[in-house]
Amino acid sequence: MIITHVRAVQPEADRAPAGWRGTIGQILVRIDTDDGLSGYGVGGGGPAGIHVVQTVLREVLIGANAGDVEGLWDAMYRHTAAYGRKGIAMMAISGVDLALWDLRGKRANKPLVEVLGGTRMAVPSYRTGWSRDDLEGALALGYKALKFGIGGMDPHSELDAIADFFADVRSVVGNDIQLMCDASMGWDVEGTLRAADRLAEFNLDWLEEPLLPEDFGGYERLMRESPIPIASGEHEYTARGFEALMQRGLHAIYQPDVCWCGGLTELVKIYALAKEYDVEVCPHRGGEVWALHAIVALDPDPLAESGRPWMTWVRDQPEVLDGKMAPGEGPGFGMWFDDDLWE
């Protein structure tokens, strides 16, 4: 169980949308142990994240007991605390933490959903799209919930177009399909309230991330005045960060990204906090294996967001069947990678 090697790479993603995260995209972390096991996890930060893993976190990890997952998380956090409580260093820690959890599942010879106390089963999923063109394919896969990103549209000057878009989608899917709107941190408070008032007639389940994450005052006002529930959190980090948001009641739905927020160690804590504060958690891109095991095991009302189809280098990602996803049967996260990623 002793860690012998720590490596990180940034796999190519040829199908990624133009400009998506650029050079700070997803990294893949591999941890090898002296008992012949390898664990894998995905983090973020591109070459900068790789640098953190291979030159900073490696100092903490080599020679350590891989089974002490929570202890190693604390050691990595303290080792990077001067500069790494949020952002790229925490994205790197996330990848390492997920690799350690993968090892934990492999050592137990169980999928992580079982390690976390759950039972493997299919749960509802929602599809994220960015245009009307994404609608037909989502319905063909049986999705009963759809989210559309419209952060590039201005609610001050393009409100009619935004409303027309959701009116069109609602007319196609009917009233039995859940709809959500993602503003991608592109709006201000007044514009968000204008949009929420206008879009309320389309019965949206939530309005996602309209403001920058640190606009606490703005989110407090939205929680008071918006007729549509507010969701956010994909750009928040650590359970401590999420507890600060929950204490102030800033969101109705919290959306941690397990590959950025600190890994599965922190996601487990965030679910516990959500139960304490009686709020909902719906992880960002939760349909990828990294979060799906926790969603199935820990979420009382699970809903998994579709993953990133351009991450084809992750083998055995969950399939969507009738709008649902299930974690795999294999130990750990239950996926594998081509050997040439490490050459």
Q: Is 251 known to be catalytic?
A: no
Question: Burial level of 212, CB count in 10 A (0-12/13-18/19+)?
Answer: middle
d(CA 150, CA 284): 17
Task: Please identify which of the residues 235, 251, 284, 293 carries the catalytic annotation.
Answer: 284
Q: 338, exposed or middle or buried, with CB in 10 Å at 0-12, 13-18, 19+? A: exposed
87 backbone dihedrals φ, ψ, rounded to 5°: 85, -145
User: Could you tell me which of 299, 240, 297 has the C-alpha nearest to residue 105?
Assistant: 297
Residues across the chain: 343
Q: In what order do the strands lie in the sheet with 3-9?
A: 3-9, 27-33, 38-43
* Rounded Cα gap, residues 213 and 37, in angstroms: 38
Quickly list H helices, the chain: 46-51, 58-61, 69-79, 88-108, 112-115, 134-140, 159-173, 189-199, 216-225, 238-248, 264-277, 289-298
Which of the residues are catalytic? Answer: 284
